Amino acid sequence: MNVLDFKVPEFCRISWVSQEADKTWSHRSNLISESWLNFEKELICTGKRQAAMQFTKLADLPALQSWAQEHGLALLIVGNSPLYGLRFALTRKPYEFFEAWSLGKLADIGYLLGYPECCIKAFVENWTELKRVDTTWPMARETIRHIDPRYDFSKKIHSITVNSSPYTSTMLHWLGIRFVPHLPCSFECEQTIRQGKENANAWKETGRKEVVAWAKEMLSWPVEYTALHGIAEIKTPIVRITCSTDPTVEKYTIRVQGTQFPLLGAPSLTRWCVPSNVKVDTWTDNGFSTEDVMIEFHAPILEAVGARVLEGIQRVIDLGCGNGLLLDKIATLYHIDPLVEVVGIESDKAKVSRGRRHEFVQFVTRNIYDVDSSQLKGQGKIKPTLVLLSTQRLKEATPEQLDRFLPRLLDIGDELMLYGYGDFDPAWEKSFVVEGWARTATGKDLVVLKRAS
183 contacts Zn ion (rule: CB under 5 A): no
The nearest distance, CB 321 to Zn ion, in angstroms, is: 33
Site stretch for Zn ion (CB under 5 A), options 81-89, 177-185, 311-319, 417-425: 177-185
Site stretch for Zn ion (CB under 5 A), options 112-120, 174-182, 233-241, 346-354: 112-120
Strand order across the beta sheet in which 74-81 lies: 51-56, 85-91, 74-81
Cα gap 194→431, rounded to integer Å:
50
Cα gap 82→241, rounded to integer Å:
18
Question: CA angle 176-178-182, nearest 5°?
Answer: 95
Chosen residue from 100, 119, 302, 316 binding Zn ion by CB under 5 A? 119
Phi and psi dihedrals of 16, rounded to 5? -100, 150
Cα gap 18→31, rounded to integer Å:
19
Of 160 and 409, CB closest to Zn ion: 160
Chosen residue from 109, 171, 185, 305 binding Zn ion by CB under 5 A? 185
Binding mask 46-75 for Zn ion (x = CB under 5 A): ------------------------------
Q: Are 323 and 358 in contact (CB under 8 A)?
A: no
Of 142 and 328, CB closest to Zn ion: 142
Of 165 and 248, CB closest to Zn ion: 165
User: What is the biggest distance separating any 2 CA atoms in the chain, rounded to whole angstroms?
Assistant: 85
The nearest distance, CB 339 to Zn ion, in angstroms, is: 29
Of 170 and 260, CB closest to Zn ion: 170
Of 52 and 185, CB closest to Zn ion: 185
Of 185 and 388, CB closest to Zn ion: 185
Closest CA to 149 of 267, 306, 274: 306
In 172-258, which ranges are continuous DSSP H helix?
Answer: 190-205, 209-218
Site stretch for Zn ion (CB under 5 A), options 189-197, 325-333, 353-361, 371-379: 189-197
Site stretch for Zn ion (CB under 5 A), options 116-124, 172-180, 241-249, 276-284: 116-124
Closest CA to 193 of 204, 179, 210, 183: 179
193 contacts Zn ion (rule: CB under 5 A): no
Chosen residue from 189, 215, 243, 388 binding Zn ion by CB under 5 A? 189
Phi and psi dihedrals of 94, rounded to 5? -60, -35
Per-residue DSSP letter, 60: G
116 contacts Zn ion (rule: CB under 5 A): yes
Of 108 and 348, CB closest to Zn ion: 108
Of 51 and 193, CB closest to Zn ion: 193
Site stretch for Zn ion (CB under 5 A), options 69-77, 183-191, 270-278, 368-376: 183-191
Of 117 and 396, CB closest to Zn ion: 117
The nearest distance, CB 122 to Zn ion, in angstroms, is: 6
b/e per residue, 146-167, with b = 16+ CB within 10 A? bbeeebeeeeebebbbbbbbbb
Per-residue DSSP letter, 297: H
Of 189 and 215, CB closest to Zn ion: 189
The nearest distance, CB 170 to Zn ion, in angstroms, is: 12
Per-residue DSSP letter, 443: E
118 contacts Zn ion (rule: CB under 5 A): yes
Question: Side chain identity at 158, as an amino acid letter?
Answer: H
Q: Are 148 and 306 in contact (CB under 8 A)?
A: yes
Q: Are 340 and 309 in contact (CB under 8 A)?
A: yes
138 contacts Zn ion (rule: CB under 5 A): no
In 220-346, which ranges are continuous DSSP H helix?
Answer: 291-310, 325-334
Size of the site for Zn ion (CB under 5 A): 6
Closest CA to 430 of 440, 438, 422, 441: 438
User: Which residues here bind Zn ion, judged by CB under 5 A?
Assistant: 116, 118-119, 185, 189, 191
